[in-house]
Structure 1
Amino acid sequence: MTVPKNTICLWYDGAAEAAARFYAETFPDSAVHAVHRAPADFPSGKAGDVLTVDFTVVGIPCLGLNGGSAFTHSEAFSFQIATDDQAETDRYWDAIVENGGEESMCGWCKDRWGISWQITPRTLTEAMAAGGDEARRAFEAMMHMRRIDVATIDAARRG
């Protein structure tokens, strides 16, 4: 296996393999490539425990590290997933939230391992790129949402 030049390392408290498998089942162009077990005891585990997991999330190389409980995730890091329509938005949102995750505001949710996700319909991104009144209306509509409602964003874009 070729090691990518840049890999996102995500810290987990013993659940790196479960998280990687969930992402691989949920998102396209995602897979678990390898599971590596600790060759000796380490601060948060024993020899033979899963230490790292090589995986991709929507084409992004990641390494899940079972480092223990010393560090937790925050919204300072998130995966942003662009969606084409309400059905795709709902599918990803529901997969994350209904698997022990939690809703937040403005298209953000958190999976059960604490990783933040932005499930962002392209219409919202396009509205923001358009600027001016269109961006303002879409932004104001978004500020009242948890899951993004594509029809409401589209209506706001039109004014």
Structure 2
Amino acid sequence: MPAKVRTCLWFDKNGEEAAHLYVSLLPGSKIENTFSPNPAEPALMIEFNLAGTPYLILNGGPMFKHSEAASICVSTKDQKETDFLWQALIADGGSASQCAWLKDRFGLSW
């Protein structure tokens, strides 16, 4: 049964790429559904699950940007898992921030 409530993350146009990265990093995660009104363009909506938590990405265009006001928090089992996620999320253009926060290459805070 689909989740009744999901957090929606607004992306310009690369949300499907982000969703695939995110589900590849956390065991028990998966892409659940994509909706693309025009198969020649990126998916408009991507429903996915990160280790049991449902999310929706909307490729809505450039008018809204990510901010630190909303972020994804992950409880890790040990320093090895923390280091793995940290390195994967800052790779290819992400950046470290203050107090153990980071922004991934898509601008989403973790």
Residue number in structure 2 paired with 1:107: 100
Q: Shift of the alpha carbon at 1:29?
A: 2.1
CA distance in 2, matches of 1:20, 1:82: 19
TM-score, normalised to structure 2, is 0.92
Residue 26 (structure 2) aligns with: 27
Shift of 1:80: 0.8
Where do 5+ consecutive residues of structure 1 fail to align? 39-46, 118-159
- Inter-partner Cα distance in structure 2 for 1:110 and 1:32: 22
Matching of residue 84 in structure 1 with residue 83 in structure 2: no
Structure 1 segments (4+ residues) deviating >3 Å: none
- What residue identity is the alignment partner of 1:91? F
Q: In the aligned structure 2, how far is the partner of 1:96 from the partner of 1:88?
A: 12
Secondary structure of the corresponding residue to residue 9 of structure 2: strand
Between structures 1 and 2, the one with greater helix share: 1
Structure (1 or 2) with the larger CA radius of gyration: 1
The alpha-carbon deviation at position 112 of structure 1 amounts to 1.0
Within a 5 Å distance, the mapping from 1:36-115 to structure 2 comes to 36-38=35-37, 47-48=38-39, 49=41, 50-115=43-108
Count, aligned residues: 108
The share of aligned pairs that are identical, in percent, is 42
Query: C-alpha displacement at 1:114, in angstroms?
Result: 1.1
User: What residue ranges of structure 2 are gaps of 5+ in the alignment?
Assistant: none
